[in-house]
Amino acid sequence: MNRKYRIYLYCCFALFSCAKIPVQSVTLSESISREGQRMHDLNMALLNSMYQEKRQKINDFIRNDYTPWFSNEIVQRITDSVDVKKDLPQILSRALPVLSAQISEKQAALEASRAMLVDQLNADFLVYQAACNELTYLLKSAVKVNDADRKLFNQAAALSGKPINFDSLNLILDRFIADKGELGKNIETMHKSIRKIIKP
């Protein structure tokens, strides 16, 4: 009797340990994967739109704020011994490269920060996509999730640790654009602030 009871228990265990996965689970998993692609595309479009606006904001800042401030700095440094009418071309030839450098360096720093965020979004999406593909594969093959598969799910859940806060990014970029201080320090501060919002 004991032997029959054990066989019965093994059969029950084997029967109940095999979970049935509905066919709709595969369709749902594929839909989630497609939705993830759509959300990734929207994030990229939002990021690119935000940075396009910031590029224009840099141009406006240089034209409306920095140039008048810089001109005032030049005027204050002109001594009485300088003949402004005669020396104006030379003064402008020294001032224009400074203005051009300010524009190009701010634009380059802005682009570098955009590239850093794009890399982070793409890396997160690749992990998400790999997890979705593996999940779909598991559902199609109706294999139970074992410890190795749990690692994949944990990896997908971790992604970068936290999503990008676009409001914080907007404030960081606005501060960078409007700062008239030392450009190298401003770029470093902007990059550190952006790293803080994308790293856990």
Task: Give domain limits for the chain.
Answer: 21-198
Contacts of 107 (CB under 8 A, 6+ apart): 55, 58
Residue (of 95, 19, 123, 103) closest to 60 by Cα position? 103
d(CA 141, CA 147): 17
Q: Is the dihedral of CA 46, 52, 58, 64 positive or negative?
A: negative
Residue 188 pLDDT grade (very low, low, confident, very high; cuts 50, 70, 90): confident
| Per-residue model confidence as pLDDT tens digits over 122-178 | 988 888 888 778 777 776 665 444 445 555 555 555 554 566 777 888 888 888 888
pTM to 2 decimals? 0.62
